Each structure stands twice: as structure tokens, then as C-alpha cells.
Structure 1
Amino acid sequence: MDPHIDIDIDIDIDIDIDIDICSLPKENWQRDVHAVQLGGFWFMPESIKPILRVINNFKPLPTDVIVATFPKTGTTWLKSLLYSILNRSSKHNLAVQHPHNLVPFLEVQVFAESDEPLLLAAPSDEPRIFSTHIPCQLLAKTLDSSECKVVYLTRNPKDTLISMWHFVNKYKPDQSWSLDEATDSFCRGVGLYAPYYDHVIGYREQSLKRPENVMFVTFEEMMEDPRGYVKKLDDFLGCPFEDEDEVEEIVKNCSIEVLSNHDVKKSKESPSRIPLPYNAFFRKGKIGDHNNYLSDESIERIDTLTRERFHSLGFMYGI
């Protein structure tokens, strides 16, 4: 990947805080579920007010760390890694608490019901860690106003699609969503926090403009070299390891195999303010799983879109 590519995209969008949700464009996402459009992206109607609260009221501290992702791209894994790196004296918490409670979502948990944050993410003597799926295009002013650190994780579009398809059908088994329908929605750019391509491009652009504050990584690179990327994350966050054993321990304890076997991760209970069971957040976490599900026609359809959206910009990723 060329770190000097030039991506021309507007990441400074003004949004009326008093917007009427009923006036927003609406489109079918899956079955009878509709999404509404805000600032060029699609969300569930109930997410709009919390997202606006984050945009208008979140004031990041210089020491804050934010995990930013498109849904189903490795969010839970990255949360676990960053929590372990920044909270080494408390890393055992991952065995008894879910990453989504240890690293809360800004729009789902922190600003869920009030302009004032409902909770803070870490003890006062340690950096606060938050997460978000909100596109950079909507958060640019907030992030630019602070020296906080942002780590953005992306994933192959086809594997992202398959993970989302499984996820939706797992927690809504009574509303089976066909893979053809899921593929069509993905390619149309309609879905949770979609379009995927705009989401990725926005944070990619920020990482090129502000590399000291925004780190852009891919799921595939991290899976192929987890030790190397734990070190890179550590360097980016400025908290060096004392020895290699610490790196090895974090990689092992944050592996999907270990994380998914903790009792709390198998529970049918739900994280704070997230209406999904703990056991819904772990599946395979493999590279190339889309080959087991997508037809050649669907793969070519997505690859064509990837060439148009990524490769045309010099971002040679996703195929």
C-alpha cells in the first residue's frame, strides 16, 4: 500500500443538531428493516440521536484512545488488544468481562441517552479507551480538535459482508436474510454505517493527513503478523514493552480461540446497553471465509466495486 496516495473526499460535513429524523431519506436494508441516511451514511433510526450527541458533545482528551471500525471487521479483537496494551496491570479483566464493556461504544453506551456521557472507560490513572462505528466524515471536527489517538481497523469487503450476514441471521433467526439480499445491500451501500467503501476511505484519508494521531491497519495484516502489529500499536500509543514475553502474552490472551472460550463470552446475557448476547460477537475470525459462501458472480460484482472505489485511488486492497 502506497502511504502517499491522494484520496480526495469530503470529511467535513455539517449536520443540523435539530434534524427531524422523519425527514431523513429512508431505504430498505434487510427484509422489513429500514435504514435512514445522515451525512451520506445509513443508520438505524434509533441510532441517529445518540450519534448526534457524540458529534456535538464528545470532547476527546489528548490521552484518549478511540477504536474506530466498520461493523464486523474485527472490532472485538482490536478492543481486546488495545485494552491489554494500555491496561497491563488489569489485563486479567478480559477473562471475566466482555471487551464491549471494557471499551464502550460512544454512540451505543457512552452517549446513549444524554448529552452528558453516561460512563467513562478507564480508571483515572489510565488512558480512557472508547470505540465507535461512526464514519470519519461525521467525526472529523471532533477528532481534529484533539490530539487523541485513533486506531482504525478495516477488513476485506467480502469477508466483512459474510460476517455481517451471519451476525444478522444469528440474532434475528426469525427474519432470515438471504445472502443474495445481503450482497445486494452491501453493493448498494445500504446498511449499518454503510457505505463500507466511504467509511474505509474516510479514515484512510485521516491516517494520511494525521499519521501521528490516526493509525490505519487491516485485519489481514494483523492476522498474519499479530506480534508485529501489537508492537506497532504499542509504538503508536507510546507505551513500550519491557520484554518480548509481554507481547507474546497479549497475542495469546487476545486470540479468538482464547477470548471465545471465557465463560462471559459464551453467555446469553448482553453487554451494557447492547441488545445482543455476549456470544454473538465471536465466530471464525478467518481470512477468506467468503470463498465458502459467495458465488463467482457475487465475488466479481464486489471485486469490480472494489477496483472502482479503492484501486482507482491507488489503495490496492480488498481483492
Structure 2
Amino acid sequence: MARLDVQETFHDILFPGHLHTQESLQRAVSFLFQDTDILIVSYPKSGTTWMQEIVTLMSHRGDAHINQTVPNWARAPWLEQFYSAAVLEASTSTHRVITTHLPHQLLGPALQGSKAKVIYVSRNPKDAVVSFYHFHKIANFLPEAGTFPEFLNKFLKGTLSYGSWFDHIKGWTSQMAVMDNFLHITYEEMLMDLPGAIRRLSSFLQCPLAEDEVKSCVQHCSFSSMKNNKMVNYTLIPENIMDHSKGSFMRKGKTGDWKNMFTEDQNQYFESVFRSKMQDCALEFVWELQDEEETPEQEQIPQRSTLDCEKSCSAKDV
């Protein structure tokens, strides 16, 4: 199924037609979850692939054989994409790992009453939009990125594929207080302390790991390991669908890259939109890691931005 120039509109949100159909999207929002399912949820370019790799490694107690022989989209299929029904039907796993970019407003009803474990992965939106911009340049199934100022405006307006980042994160994280089976973890948290993040995930998934198994997970889901693993780095995708000559899917794996793209005016505008749209949301964001090294398990010093509606704090770097 090519459909590289097709965009599907579903509940006023754009989805790339190469991967999505009206039928696959409708099937996703009415999906019958099993209580043993593990659902990875994220807005694009927020650490999704990393989490898929971590959860797969954890489920095999650090053994990387599956990660190195089976593509990640087969190990943790995308619920809303056209191929997922066949993959999930053929699955013999007692704990299916499923991935989605769908907002809570669409998928939430299907999860009501389910005991499926939901892992929500978020990322500093400034880094997410920069990563998404670069991804548009290599993904021929996505619309032309245009200039970065044009792309940034679309991101802030919520008119890119997969909809609004603001609606996505507010919709899903609002479930933290009402769902016992919900875990919110950030890209920056995984960078600052990957072993600690893996232990937190193993506790949430009730999948205890020995220390050597944690170390194996850390080793095989490091950025360098994933970048060189064709089952993860998307080099298996044909050039007409993903043009690898224009860039790498696994680009940097760090934080703060937004500073290489944003002008001061763009940053100020972003901050004003962020404050306006997130004023009713109490979340803390890490904008960058100081003295960041390539090895994520080393201790990092975060720079945080706190937006707390109850204390009427504004979002800014501190």
C-alpha cells in the first residue's frame, strides 16, 4: 500500500494515508483491549521507539535476540496502522505490546474498564517539534516540511499529522489521577537515569528484573546500539518511502537540539503559546540536561520548567 501523497482526516486530525485508512483508524478506536496488554502511547518523536525497545527487552529479561531479529513495528505494532490487525491476530504472546499516537479523546473510550497497562511517553515539545521537522524531511509519506518557521507554526496550531501536542499531552496525563494502570515517563527522565527508568517500568509492569538483566537492557537500548540495529533504525524501509540519504531516523538522541533551530523570537513566541495552552495543566518539563554525555546512565543535572496552575507559575527555564 503506497498512498504516499494521501492524508486521511479522522475526527479532524490528519494521519498519513500510507499507513492509515479510515477502516484501520475506526478499528483502533473500537479495539477490544485485553487486561494483559501493554500500551505505549506518545506524540510523535517523543521517545516512542526507545520505549518499544525497552519494553521488548524487559519482557525477555534483557535477552536482545528478538530485538535484533524482529522489526520493532512487528514486536510492538501501531494500533491505528493498517497492518496491525493481522499482526495482533497472529500474536501468541500473553502480554501483547501495542503502540499508538492516538489522542486520549479518541482511544480513551476503548480503554474504559480495561486493566491494560498504559505507558505514556512525553518529551520537551521544543525538542519534539525539531525532531518531527527533520523526520518530515526523510519520510516521503508525510507532507513537505516547508521552512522551520512554517512547520513550527503548524505545530503550535495543532495542524500537523497526529494533531495537537498540547491536546495530546493534556488528554493523556489527565488520566494519571484516575487510572491505577497508567504510568507517565519522560524522554529526559530516561536520559538522566536509564537504569532507574527501567526499574520503575519493571515495577509498573510487575516484571522484576535482576541487576544483570537491568544492565543488559541498558546496554541494548542505548542510542548507539539502536542506531546500529536495523530492526530499530528503519533502514529496512525502502528508499522511496523513507529517504535515508536526507538524514537518519536515529539522529542525535539528546536534549536541547531546539537551541540549534529556534531564533530568540521563535522561542519567545513558543513560550507565550505554551503558557496560554498549558495554563490549566500542572506538569513539570525538563528543557535540557546540563553537561549531557552520550551515555545516558551517567548522572545529569536537569534544567526544569514548572507549570503549575494551582500556584499560577509561568513556564520558563529556571
Relative to the length of structure 1, the TM-score reads 0.78
- Residue 262 of structure 1 pairs with residue 262 of structure 2: no
Correspondences of 1:46-125 after superposition (within 5 Å)? 46-56=20-30, 58-88=31-61, 91-111=64-84, 117-120=85-88, 124-125=92-93
- Residue 207 of structure 1 pairs with residue 176 of structure 2: yes
Distance verdict in 2 for CA 1:44–1:171, change over 3 Å = closer
Amino acid at match of 1:147: K
Structure 1 spans left out of the alignment, 5+ residues: 1-32, 112-116
Match of 2:146 among 171, 177, 182: 177
Amino acid at match of 1:250: C
Question: C-alpha separation between the residues in 2 aligned to 1:313 and 1:175?
Answer: 32
Q: Is the 8 A contact 2:45 2:128 kept in 1?
A: yes
- Residue 246 of structure 1 pairs with residue 220 of structure 2: no
Residues 150-193 of structure 1: CA deviation (Å, up to 9, x unaligned):
10101111101000000001234994621011111011111111
Q: Is the 8 A contact 2:34 2:115 kept in 1?
A: yes
Partner of 1:29: none
- Residue 165 of structure 1 pairs with residue 133 of structure 2: yes
Question: C-alpha separation between the residues in 2 aligned to 1:191 and 1:125?
Answer: 34
Partner secondary structure for residue 99 of structure 2: strand
Partner secondary structure for residue 262 of structure 2: coil
Question: C-alpha separation between the residues in 2 aligned to 1:67 and 1:295?
Answer: 33
Offset at residue 314 of structure 1 (A): 2.3
Residues 263-304 of structure 1: CA deviation (Å, up to 9, x unaligned):
445664329xx9547985311121111001111111111122
Structure 2 spans left out of the alignment, 5+ residues: 288-304, 306-318
Question: C-alpha separation between the residues in 2 aligned to 1:74 and 1:247?
Answer: 19
Amino acid at match of 2:150: E
Q: Give the fraction of aligned pairs with identical amino acids, expressed as a percent.
A: 27
Amino acid at match of 1:195: S
Distance verdict in 2 for CA 1:175–1:89, change over 3 Å = closer
Question: C-alpha separation between the residues in 1 aligned to 2:126 and 2:106?
Answer: 25
Aligned-residue CA RMSD (Å): 2.7
Partner secondary structure for residue 119 of structure 2: strand
Distance verdict in 2 for CA 1:191–1:263, change over 3 Å = closer
Amino acid at match of 1:77: W
Partner of 1:304: 272
Name the structure, 1 or 2, with higher relative contact order (CA <8 Å, separation 6+). 1
The range that moved more, 218-227 or 165-174, is: 165-174
Q: Is the 8 A contact 1:110 1:120 kept in 2?
A: no
Distance verdict in 2 for CA 1:77–1:267, change over 3 Å = closer
Distance verdict in 2 for CA 1:120–1:176, change over 3 Å = closer
Partner secondary structure for residue 88 of structure 1: coil
Paired residue total: 277
Question: C-alpha separation between the residues in 2 aligned to 1:176 and 1:157?
Answer: 17
Question: C-alpha separation between the residues in 1 aligned to 2:143 and 2:100?
Answer: 28
Amino acid at match of 1:55: V
Q: Is the 8 A contact 2:72 2:232 kept in 1?
A: no
Correspondences of 1:15-54 after superposition (within 5 Å)? 38-39=10-11, 41-44=13-16, 46-54=20-28
Relative to the length of structure 2, the TM-score reads 0.78
